[in-house]
C-alpha cells in the first residue's frame, strides 16, 4: 500500500464512504479498446467486474484460474470465479489482509495487516495459521506483499503504513525491509535492508529471479535468488516504483500505480493500461488459459483479455 493509497484508505475508514452499485455498467468506467498491442488482445477493453468495494488489493490466482482478492477496509477476502465471473465472499473477518498469494499446495498466504502478521489460510476449512508476527521480538511494520517459491519458501515486503485501526505503538523495526522465510521455519531473515520502502514483490516461475519495487524511492529492482534466500546481483530495472506486480510468460513485468505499466525484461515500457480510478493497487493473471489480466483498483475490480499468459 503506497502513501497515496494509505491516505485514501485512512479516509474511507474514518468517513464511511459508500460503495458503488454492483451493477454499474462497464461503459461508465472504461471504454478504450486496444489494437496492435504487444500484450493486450486486439479489440479488448478494460471491463468492469464490480465496483461494490471500498479498497481492493492482493489479487492471487489459484490452479483453476480463479482469483482471491482483498477489500481491506471491509476486512474481507473475496473469490472470483473464472468460469462464471461471479464474485463471492470467501472470508470475513480476514485480519485486514492486504497482499495474497496462492502456494503450490493450494493454501492461501495472506499479509494480515491488523496485527502485523503473515498467515497461511486453508482454503477448505478457512482456518488460518499465524506464520510470523515478529522479527527479533519486535513487531513487523506490517507485511504488505508476498511471493512464494515453487518449493514453498517465501519472500515478503514489510513497509510501514500507519493504520487507523492499529492498537499498537509506533514502528519497532529499524527500517523497511524484505524478508525470507524458509518452508517450515519459524523465523524470517532480512535479505534486503537498503531500500526506502519496499512494496510490490514477484519472482519468476523458475524461482531464481526476484523483483522488488521500492515505491518510496520510485525504483524497481531485479535480484538473483541464491541458496537460503540470499539476494545478489541487485540491478535497477526501471525508475518507477509499484504497489503490486505480476509477470507474464514472456518475462514482461506489470507494475501498478497510475494504471498498469508493462515493461519488458530490459526495463523498457511497452504498454500502459489506463484505469479510471485514481490508484491501481495490484494485478495478476487469471482464467483457465491464464490470459485474463485481473486488476484491483480502489473500489473496483476489472478484467482485460490478453495475448500473453501469466508466468507459471
Asked, for residue 311, whether it belongs to a domain, the answer is: no
pLDDT at 32 over 80: no
Which 3-state string (H, E, C) describes the chain?
Answer: CCHHHHHHHHHHHHHCCCCCCCCCCHHHCCCCECCCCCCECCCCECEEEECCCCCEEEEEECCCCCEEEEEHHHCEEEEECCCCCCEEEEECCCCCEEEEEECCCCCEEEEEHHHCEEEEECCCCCCEEEEECEECCEECCCCCEEEECCCCCEEEEECCCCCCCCCCCCCCCCCCEEEEECCCCCCCEEEECCCCCEEEEEECCCCCEEEEEECCCCEEEEEEECHHHCEEEEEEEECCCCCCEEEECCCCEEEEECEEEEECCCCCEEEEECCCCCCCCEEEEECCCCCEEEEEECCEEEEEEECCCECC
Asked, for residue 15, whether it belongs to a domain, the answer is: yes
Residue 278 confidence (pLDDT): 80
Report d(CA 66, CA 59) in Å as an integer.
Answer: 10
Asked, for residue 37, whether it belongs to a domain, the answer is: yes
Asked, for residue 312, whether it belongs to a domain, the answer is: no
How many domains does the structure of the chain reveal? Answer: 1
Per-residue model confidence as pLDDT tens digits over 279-299: 999 999 999 999 999 999 999
Average pLDDT over residues 218-227: 97
pLDDT at 256 over 60: yes
Asked, for residue 110, whether it belongs to a domain, the answer is: yes
Residue 23 confidence (pLDDT): 35
Split at pLDDT 50, 70, 90, the class of 31 is low
Residue 105's domain spans which residues? Answer: 3-305
Report d(CA 63, CA 85) in Å as an integer.
Answer: 16
Average pLDDT over residues 87-91: 98
Residue 3 confidence (pLDDT): 45
Average pLDDT over residues 270-280: 94
- Region at 73 (left for phi over 0; alpha for psi -120 to 50; beta for the rest): alpha
279 Cα distance to chain centroid:
13
Cβ burial of 25 (10 Å; 0-12, 13-18, 19+) is exposed
Report d(CA 241, CA 197) in Å as an integer.
Answer: 10
**What does the mean pLDDT of the chain come to?**
91
Split at pLDDT 50, 70, 90, the class of 5 is very low
pLDDT at 229 over 90: yes
Residue 30 confidence (pLDDT): 52
Cell 478494460 belongs to: 46
Residue 122, C-alpha cell as written in the block: 486453508
Paired with 100 in beta bridges are 110
Contacts of 261 (CB under 8 A, 6+ apart): 240, 254, 255, 269, 271, 272, 273
Split at pLDDT 50, 70, 90, the class of 12 is very low
Structural contact between residues 242 and 227, judged by C-beta atoms closer than 8 angstroms: no
Asked, for residue 114, whether it belongs to a domain, the answer is: yes
Average pLDDT over residues 9-37: 49
Asked, for residue 40, whether it belongs to a domain, the answer is: yes
Residue 312 confidence (pLDDT): 82
pLDDT at 25 over 60: no
Asked, for residue 52, whether it belongs to a domain, the answer is: yes
Split at pLDDT 50, 70, 90, the class of 24 is very low
Least trusted range by pLDDT, from 5-14, 154-163, 255-264: 5-14
For residue 198, what is the domain's CATH number? 2.120.10.30
φ, ψ for residue 84, nearest 5 deg? -110, -20
Average pLDDT over residues 43-66: 97
Residue 103 confidence (pLDDT): 95
Per-residue model confidence as pLDDT tens digits over 94-151: 999 999 999 999 999 999 999 999 999 999 999 999 999 999 999 999 999 999 999 9
Amino acid at each position: 500500500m503506497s502513501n497515496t493509497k494509505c491516505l485514501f484508505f485512512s479516509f474511507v475508514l474514518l468517513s464511511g464512504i459508500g460503495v458503488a452499485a454492483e451493477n454499474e455498467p462497464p461503459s461508465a468506467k472504461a471504454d478504450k479498446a486496444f489494437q496492435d498491442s504487444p500484450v493486450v488482445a486486439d479489440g479488448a477493453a478494460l471491463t468492469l467486474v464490480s465496483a461494490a468495494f471500498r479498497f481492493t488489493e492482493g489479487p492471487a490466482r489459484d490452479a483453476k484460474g480463479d482469483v482471491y482478492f482483498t477489500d481491506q477496509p471491509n476486512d474481507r477476502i473475496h473469490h472470483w470465479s473464472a468460469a462464471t465471473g461471479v464474485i463471492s465472499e470467501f472470508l470475513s473477518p480476514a485480519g485486514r489482509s492486504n497482499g495474497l498469494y496462492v502456494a503450490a499446495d493450494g493454501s492461501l498466504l495472506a499479509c494480515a495487516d491488523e496485527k502485523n502478521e503473515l498467515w497461511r489460510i486453508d482454503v477448505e476449512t478457512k482456518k488460518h495459521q499465524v506464520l510470523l508476527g515478529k522479527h527479533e521480538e519486535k513487531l513487523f511494520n506490517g507485511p504488505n506483499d508476498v511471493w512464494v517459491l515453487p518449493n514453498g519458501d517465501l519472500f515478503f515486503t514489510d513497509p510501514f503504513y500507519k493504520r487507523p485501526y492499529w492498537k499498537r505503538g509506533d514502528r519497532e523495526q529499524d527500517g523497511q525491509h524484505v524478508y525470507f522465510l524458509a518452508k517450515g521455519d519459524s523465523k524470517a531473515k532480512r535479505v534486503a535492508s537498503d531500500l526506502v520502502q519496499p512494496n510490490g514483490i514477484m519472482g519468476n516461475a523458475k524461482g531464481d529471479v526476484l523483483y522488488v519495487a521500492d515505491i518510496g524511492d520510485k525504483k524497481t529492482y531485479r535480484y538473483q535468488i541464491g541458496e537460503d534466500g540470499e539476494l545478489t546481483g541487485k540491478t535497477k530495472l526501471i525508475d518507477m516504483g509499484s504497489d503490486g506486480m505480476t509477470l507474464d510468460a514472456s518475462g514482461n513485468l506489470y507494475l501498478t500505480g497510475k494504471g498498469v505499466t508493462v515493461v519488458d525484461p530490459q526495463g523498457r515500457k511497452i504498454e500502459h493500461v489506463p484505469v479510471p480510478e485514481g490508484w491501481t493497487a495490484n494485478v495478476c493473471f487469471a482464467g483457465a488459459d491464464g490470459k485474463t489480466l485481473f486488476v484491483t483498483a480502489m473500489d473496483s475490480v476489472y478484467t482485460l483479455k490478453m495475448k500473453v499468459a501469466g508466468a507459471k
